[in-house]
Amino acid sequence: MAVDERILHIQHCMYQYSRAIYRSIKDLIDPYVDSPTQLEYRREVLAACEGTMERLAADPHYFAKPDRALFQDIRRYFPITAQAQVAWAVTEGVGAAVEFIEEQIEAGTFEGGVARCHATTRKGKPCQRTPLPDRDYCPSHQHLERSSSRVAA
């Protein structure tokens, strides 16, 4: 699969996750408000779901608690009696999206939208820092770039 196709595939999947979350909670939106207000609430909830998925896809390493963030953004649109159900749906939906992103990163088909240092940590995991401009390594691992260029020379 080409790089552009992989990006489109990931974007499509994230879109599907946001829509699945929205579909599972849209009927719980406050039924006691008038129709125009309820329509506006639905738009806001959908936009929040999509925004969370876009942010998660753009930089998953620096989005600590996406489920909590999404729930905090949308909870005001639901009556108190539906909040536990909404929280559960958000946690499950975002959890599935996070799992998908992690699988893509582990498979090497997704970089999270941000360049990453090419070094590995002492524990053998990929370094999560951003490399220096026009380099492959972060400030902590820049010595590796010099040594590898000397070996090649």
C-alpha–C-alpha distance, residues 124 and 121, integer Å: 5
- Neighbouring CB atoms inside 10 A of 122's CB total 5
C-alpha–C-alpha distance, residues 44 and 17, integer Å: 16
pLDDT score of 62: 79
C-alpha–C-alpha distance, residues 106 and 61, integer Å: 13
120 DSSP 8-state letter = B
Task: Kindly report the average pLDDT of the chain as a whole number.
Answer: 85
pLDDT score of 146: 67
Q: What percent of the chain has pLDDT above 70?
A: 85
pLDDT score of 153: 47
Q: Is 64 helix (H, G, I), strand (E, B) or coil?
A: coil
Domain boundaries, the chain: 3-107, 116-153
Dump pLDDT digits (tens) for 99-121. Answer: 998 888 777 666 555 566 778 88
